Amino acid sequence: MYSNSVRSKVILARVVFVSVLILLIYQAPVSGELRNNNDLKTTDDSQGSSNVQTAKLRLAVVHPSFRAPKFNPLQGDNKSSMCMNHKDRCTWENTFGGTLADKAYGIVPMSDDGVVVVGNTRSNGGFGNNAWIIRLNRAGDLVWEREFGGLNNDQVYGVVKTEDGGVVVAGHTRSKGAGKSDFWIFRLGHQGNLIWERTFGTLHNDRARTVAATPDGGFLVAGTTQTNDEQEIDAWLLKLDGEGRRIWDSTFGGTGNDGIYHLAVNPDGSIATAGYTALGGLAGYDVWVLRLSKQGKMVWERKLGRGVFDAATAIAATPEGGFLVVGVTSEDAFQKDDAWLLKLNGAGEVLWERIFGGAKPDTARSVLITPNNSYLVTISTSSYGAGSADAWLLHLGKDGTLKWDRFYGGKLWDRPTSAALSTDGGLYIIGYTTTKGMGHEDYWLLRLDANGLL
């Protein structure tokens, strides 16, 4: 048995580790009280607020059986010539990067069956990261690339398509804005030309993680904000019009660190967000799901926990009006992480949950709803595969039953970060690789068929 003092030190170390991981990989936390926005420094004068009503829901600890999947080696010849005819099956694997670290985080399919991928590069930038946006055709060939940033760290994570064939990109910048880091949102035309650029923030650290389009032609951007020197972080949600002007903003948070990793917009304009909320002291984190009106006002809030350290990384709206939430759970401070999947109804009630993992860390990174209402979940796994980290793709029925799974990667570190459906019924998985490419880490892109095969 560990003494109380030793256990407290171990838990504290884990809290520090998780906090650093959040800052490096996602940005998040959220709780239940609206903060005053008077100290926000932005590029326009509009302000917004919302009323927060809280409701607490904790899951009982469950112990579903863990499935140790059979490893399926990477398949396919990775040739793009088969993609020239849009009627042909089109699969490929590609890497992009320089001699240093280049990591892809966001992807959006375009109307011509190509994609735009966003992430960050150290190979071409200044002293830190720069935003790197690449446009690919259906065959995975580079159409254009653009780099944005200054002398400091400037990073992007989210991207959404616009009606005119361009994209809006979201992240954070240390080279511009009013504070240490600010929300950084910019819009590009279909040729990658800069249309507008905006920064929003306080005098401290504000970091956007995700962006989504709204039915009225505007955009929602979400992440975390810090408005004082106490190191406490809250969730921050901004509504922008089509020109990037702020319509309203809402902040949510308590006395600990709370944040939003991902958001989904329903056809009626209502909003669902997924992230994490601190439990207070050394107690850890819970998955945190918010349902908001299209004006950013709270409809309901759910805090879901089965372990000490739980966080949601992605959310998708289901056709029947519910939500599929994916992320990570760790039952106590001494165990590894597992991928956690939760199906919620429209009222935020848990319909089912599933756990996938092995002896090492496994974290769900993205979730997609297919046209036939099944689910595709991408996991970064260290338990299975060929190397230290690999991509793990699950295909689940609407009741959570596993239909099949696939693994992708090599002998070193190959981490997925996001995914998107392709127009031919397949999907894209993106991330970064140390097994392939020419640098320390390179953009890693896979285009798979409907069965997850190359």
Rounded to whole angstroms, the Cα distance separating 387 from 323 reads 32
Does residue 222 surpass a pLDDT of 80?
A: yes
Of 235, 203, 246, 185, whose CA–CA distance to 41 is shortest? 203
Question: DSSP 3-state assignment of 453?
Answer: coil
Query: Given pLDDT bands bounded at 50, 70 and 90, which one contains residue 276?
Result: very high
Characterize 140-179 residue by residue with b for buried, 16 or more Cβ atoms within 10 angstroms of its Cβ, and e for exposed: beeeeebebbeebbbbbbbbbbbeeebbbbbbbbbbbbbb
Q: Domain residue spans in the chain?
A: 4-448
DSSP annotation of 16 reads H
Two structure tokens written together for 416: 């997925």
Give percent of the chain above pLDDT 90: 69
195: its two tokens: 């249309």
Residue in 180, 181, 173 with CA at minimum distance from that of residue 156: 173
Whether the pLDDT of residue 386 is over 60: the answer is: yes
Exposure of 289 in the CB half-sphere (CA atoms within 13 A): 29
Please, what's the largest Cα pairwise distance for the chain?
A: 66
User: Any idea what DSSP says for residue 24?
Assistant: I
* pLDDT the model gives residue 307: 83
Mean of the per-residue pLDDT values of the chain: 83
What is the rounded distance in angstroms from the CA atom of residue 124 to the CA atom of residue 129? 9
Model pLDDT for residues 305-357, shown as the tens digit of each residue: 988 899 999 999 999 999 999 999 997 665 689 999 999 999 999 999 999 99
Instruction: Taking residues 260-266, report their average pLDDT.
Output: 96
**pLDDT of 45:** 31
Class of domain 4-448: mainly beta
Rounded (to 5) percent helix, strand, coil in the chain: 5, 50, 45
- 30-34, 267-271, 282-286, 381-385, range with the lowest pLDDT: 30-34
252 close to 290: Cβ distance less than 8 angstroms: yes
Q: What is the pLDDT of residue 281?
A: 56
Inter-residue contact 290 to 263 (CB < 8 Å): no
Measured over the CA atoms of residue 344, residue 348, residue 353 and residue 355, the dihedral's sign is positive
Supply the pLDDT for residue 402: 98
The pTM assigned to this predicted structure is 0.84
Q: Looking at residue 71, what is its pLDDT?
A: 28
Phi then psi for residue 22, to 5 deg, are -60, -45
